[in-house]
Chain A
Amino acid sequence: MNPPRWANRLLQWLHPDETLEEVEGDLNELYTYWYERSGKTRATLRYVLNVVSVLPPFVRRRKRKEEYQPTPNLNSAMIRNYFKITFRTLVRNKLYTALNVAGLTFGISCFLLIGLYLFDELTFDQQHSQTNRIYRAIQHRKTPTEDLTMAASSYNVAEEARKQTGEIENSARIIRTGRSNITNPENKNTFQETTAFGSSGMLDIFDFTVLDGSIKSALNEPNSIVIVEELAQRLFGTTDVVGKTVDFEFGQNRLLRITAVLKNHPRNSSFNFNSMISEATLRADDDFAEMTSDWDSQNFLTFFLLKDNADPTIAARKITDLLNANVQWEPGTSASYSLQPLADMHLRSEGIVDRARNDNVEAMDEGALRYINIFAVVALFVLLIACINYMNLATARASNRAKEIGVRKANGAFKHHLIYQFLTESLLVTTVSFLLAVALTNVLLPAFNEFTHKELSLGIHTDYRIWLSSLLALVVTGLVSGSYPAFLLSGFSPLMLLKNLKTRNKGDSSLRKGLVVFQFTISIVMMIGTIVLFQQIRFANNKDLGFKKELLVVVDINSGDVRSGAETIKAEFGKIPAVKNAAVTSRVPGEWKTIPTVKISREGTTREPDVAYLIGADENFARTFDVQLVNGRNFTGMADSASVLLNETAAKLLGITEAAGQRIEIPSRSWNGGSYRPLNQAEEPFQARVIGIVKDFHFQSLREKIAPMVLAYQRNPVQSIDYFTARIGGSDIPATLAKMKNVITKIDPTDLFEYHFLDEQLARFYAEDQRRQTLLIWVALATIFIACLGLFGLATYAAEQRVKEIGVRKVLGASIFNLTALLSKDFLKLVLIANGIAFPLAWWATSQWLEEFAYHIQPAWWVFAVAGLLSVAIALATVSYQAIRAAQMNPVRSLRSE
């Protein structure tokens, strides 16, 4: 005749302790009474209802006669006590404190540096106050042969969409015409600059900081130019230049009035023009009307400012409708627009061709979202490793504090008091480490900026979001590293603690082992990643490219005079003794200017034309670059203007094995990856004969497969010559360069003799990889270092714990080697397990990355062996120091006292 057990349990669990006994008894008695009066069912029902009536929130709590008031955790005396105890503990264990602080400082520094870098990348182009409403016009174009997505529009799309679309408030356009000479007429300072023409909307939509002049109207008038302070300094030696004029060579010589001087663009801006001329300047030109009348041209990079709360997809649809209403599409061709938020421009432009630019204008700099993610993960891992160190050391050393915890508990400390105590400790340690890390970061920033090409800083002027997230990271780090020890240590029973002075806890030590394995797994993966990255870059820089890239000087052809005098210059170059060969070409492998592609087909075939790259070259090209002729013959001279050489890939594509004057046709070419257009007004194709086949050579980065390549003669209807390339002797290069400069200035005195070394240019393909490699090496070193600090701490602790055992063993005749092995064995096992986990992980990760390259290395087995051995060696060195020290100790000292 007992009440239902579950209801009774509920009562015991929820009813206030003060009155539990009498209420439980009363209800029991009542149950019996009800049971006898009205049977089991009714009794049970009433019992349950009455139990509910004495559960919170219904029940009234009985006040104790003399209520015990526990000391609040957060009153000032307790807080002072927490700090005092923390301070004493930290000072007493100087070694562990130092290890913890050092580990956390390094971890947080890495985190801060990478965090600053990521923040900068993620806030690209967001310095404009209307960023959220600015969109870039992206055209998606479908033709029967190709699909294109490009950042380009016509004049009319930009202009009419603004007038006719309700969602659009304003628009801005840029035409990037390429490099032109700009001169200060007073002192004849001349510079060749990449300039752009911009509509007045540019200054309305974007917020460029102005140093001098009035910004809003600066691009309204024809013949106005806005320049950046850095260019103003170069031209005039001052930034106070509004109202002055500059000579500008574009089609004709123009006199432009400076209407505003802008501050240099911040590094996290996609805009890098250092001068912008008003679009109105072009309005007088004959071809401008022609250029602007075509709805379907792609000359302008266009930005739209949408109205508040306007929907970009609706606006884009309206722009598409507008375009379709004004263009007669050829069958199979269609185009639509989408609007890309300005904030996405830097990181989310993959697959969008930066089309509206001359082919001698560099495409806008883009970031790689993929690496942003990788680095974010890496930064978190480094921080996590540092946290793990703290956790490991704190829990490992818990038994040393057993007495303290026991006494505290016996004196009436509740669990939460101890939790506060330990959290205070970890928060204090993280705070100190954080402050040190901020200092360290500031020390490292100049070097870091140098190689990331950024202007990062960490000070009071830094964006509040950085500080906010750092603060968050600080608190989270403190809580994460402190919480496990706090909850673990506070949970022990005081009786056990005081009786045994030990906190043996099996699960706890296996967790510690797991964390060490985790730390080393990450370190080893990073180590392997770094080695593979390093090898791939070396492979890329040393691979036989099919031509010799060393000691090739590339000189830009920057003026009409130099271009028309090219033959003379080449001959003069040949007279310089140090110059072995000199050639002229339209493009040079490795140069940043885009190599154009052409449609090519053999005469008489009905097949769709193939696509090939085209470079104009002369008879010296093959000799100068050391490109091998497979069969046929080289160009011989002017008579070969209708001859071409093919590379092996192109020959294979066209089905030519032996060059024998096969006829080919090149009907159209494409600029900057845009649509293919006929070569000339008359739509006459370029007809040529294949006179030779050259061995494949890498004219693009090794990320790309070798593509079909047509080498046309220097005088060809596709592209004119743009570069001299000279192979020079290795001794006294400056003198050779000076002589070459002389040759050119004799032809054109204003020429600025722009030159590069080709191998350096080619290395630029992999500059980003190099940068990532450097960053990764440092982070890998930091993780290993931090992990070793932790290991060192654990080893020290293990040796301390087993000091008696070691003493006994030594007395019984164990050698130092035996003892060292004994102590190191446990840790080595962990590192070996970490290796086992890290290898497949690293294999997978590096293979993924290498896929990016068409030509790449295979991660060799020895890389893994090296990383594995290195990790073991480092761990061994760390652990054995402590082990040997413990083994050498005189056993009398450890065994004397018990």
Chain B
Amino acid sequence: MFRTNLGEFEELVLLITAILDGEGYGVTISQALEEHTGRVAAFGTVHNTLIRLEEKGFVNSELGGATAERGGRRKRMFRVTALGSRALREVQQLREELWQMVPTQTLKLGGI
């Protein structure tokens, strides 16, 4: 079985990149992360994670979309690759299989 090596924060960033669907770059990803999860991550953490994901081949990027509010500097836009979406799906599938195996009363006890 293909083993996905994806950290928890990496998974979140990858998911958000998928949600943004080609519109993801440093700013939007940071903002979405804060909005949807309540986590305030340092920009450097997001930046590093994106580079790492790209090295693993889960996202690719290209420069473009300079706007005046950023002083005419280009953005690096991220998009999830096929490998990236497969990894996400595999993670989700693995979680679901594991959920199936958890006895109901454990969940109840743990939950209450």
Q: Which residues of chain A have a CB within 8 Å of any CB of chain B?
A: 19, 21-30, 32-33, 49-50, 52-55, 58-63
The docked-state distance in angstroms from the alpha carbon of A54 to that of B31 is 17
Q: Which residues of chain B have a CB within 8 Å of any CB of chain A?
A: 25-27, 30-31, 42-45, 47-48, 51-52, 54-55, 63, 66, 69-71, 73-76
Please name the residue on chain B nearest to A2 by beta carbon: B71
- Residues on the B chain within 8 Å of A33, using CB: 27, 31
**Total contacts A to B, CB within 8 angstroms?**
74
- Residues on the A chain within 8 Å of B27, using CB: 26, 29-30, 33
Do most interface residues of chain B lie in helix, strand or loop, or is the interface mixed? helix
Q: Taking the nearest CB of chain B, how far is it from the CB of A813, in angstroms?
A: 64
- Residue pair B43, A26 in contact (C-beta under 8 Å): yes
- Residues on the A chain within 8 Å of B31, using CB: 33
Q: List 26 A-B contacts (CB under 8 A).
A: A19-B51, A21-B63, A22-B25, A22-B63, A23-B26, A23-B47, A24-B73, A25-B66, A25-B71, A25-B75, A26-B43, A26-B70, A26-B75, A28-B73, A29-B69, A29-B70, A30-B27, A30-B43, A32-B69, A33-B31, A49-B42, A53-B44, A59-B44, A60-B47, A61-B51, A63-B55
Please name the residue on chain B nearest to A30 by beta carbon: B27
Please name the residue on chain B nearest to A20 by beta carbon: B73
Q: Taking the nearest CB of chain B, how far is it from the CB of A34, in angstroms?
A: 10
- Residues on the B chain within 8 Å of A58, using CB: 44, 48
The docked-state distance in angstroms from the alpha carbon of A63 to that of B48 is 12
- Residue pair A54, B43 in contact (C-beta under 8 Å): yes
- Residues on the B chain within 8 Å of A49, using CB: 42
Q: Taking the nearest CB of chain A, how far is it from the CB of B27, in angstroms?
A: 5
3 nearest interchain CB pairs? A53-B44, A25-B73, A26-B26
Query: Which residue of B43, B52, B69 contacts A53 across the interface (Cβ within 8 Å)?
Result: B43
On whether A54 and B71 interact (CB within 8 A), knowing A23-B26, A33-B31, the answer reads no
Please name the residue on chain A nearest to B42 by beta carbon: A53
Known: A26-B26, A26-B27, A53-B44. 13 other contacts (CB 8 A): A23-B26, A24-B73, A25-B73, A26-B47, A28-B69, A29-B27, A30-B30, A32-B69, A50-B43, A58-B44, A59-B44, A60-B51, A61-B51
The docked-state distance in angstroms from the alpha carbon of A59 to that of B43 is 10
> Which of B42, B55, B66, B70 has the largest number of chain A CB atoms within 10 A?
B70
- Residue pair A60, B43 in contact (C-beta under 8 Å): no
Q: Taking the nearest CB of chain A, how far is it from the CB of B24, in angstroms?
A: 12
The docked-state distance in angstroms from the alpha carbon of A109 to that of B58 is 68
- Residues on the A chain within 8 Å of B66, using CB: 25
The docked-state distance in angstroms from the alpha carbon of A19 to that of B78 is 14
- Residue pair A60, B48 in contact (C-beta under 8 Å): yes
Q: Taking the nearest CB of chain A, how far is it from the CB of B40, in angstroms?
A: 9
- Residue pair B70, A28 in contact (C-beta under 8 Å): yes
The docked-state distance in angstroms from the alpha carbon of A19 to that of B44 is 12
- Residues on the B chain within 8 Å of A55, using CB: 44
- Residue pair A53, B45 in contact (C-beta under 8 Å): yes
On whether A25 and B74 interact (CB within 8 A), knowing A30-B27, A53-B44, the answer reads yes
Q: Taking the nearest CB of chain B, how far is it from the CB of A721, in angstroms?
A: 100
The docked-state distance in angstroms from the alpha carbon of A53 to that of B30 is 14
The docked-state distance in angstroms from the alpha carbon of A22 to that of B70 is 9
On whether A22 and B45 interact (CB within 8 A), knowing A28-B70, A33-B31, the answer reads no
On whether A59 and B48 interact (CB within 8 A), knowing A26-B25, A26-B26, A26-B27, the answer reads yes
- Residues on the A chain within 8 Å of B76, using CB: 19, 22
- Residue pair B43, A22 in contact (C-beta under 8 Å): no
The docked-state distance in angstroms from the alpha carbon of A22 to that of B46 is 13
On whether A50 and B42 interact (CB within 8 A), knowing A28-B69, A33-B27, A60-B47, the answer reads yes
- Residues on the B chain within 8 Å of A32, using CB: 69
- Residue pair B47, A25 in contact (C-beta under 8 Å): no
Query: Which residue of B25, B42, B71 contacts A28 across the interface (Cβ within 8 Å)?
Result: B71
Please name the residue on chain A nearest to B63 by beta carbon: A22
- Residues on the A chain within 8 Å of B43, using CB: 23, 26-27, 30, 50, 53-54
On whether A25 and B70 interact (CB within 8 A), knowing A50-B44, A53-B44, the answer reads yes
The docked-state distance in angstroms from the alpha carbon of A500 to that of B9 is 57
Please name the residue on chain B nearest to A27 by beta carbon: B43
- Residues on the B chain within 8 Å of A26, using CB: 25-27, 30, 43, 47, 70, 75
Query: Which residue of A21, A28, A54 contacts B47 across the interface (Cβ within 8 Å)?
Result: A54
- Residues on the B chain within 8 Å of A53, using CB: 42-45, 47
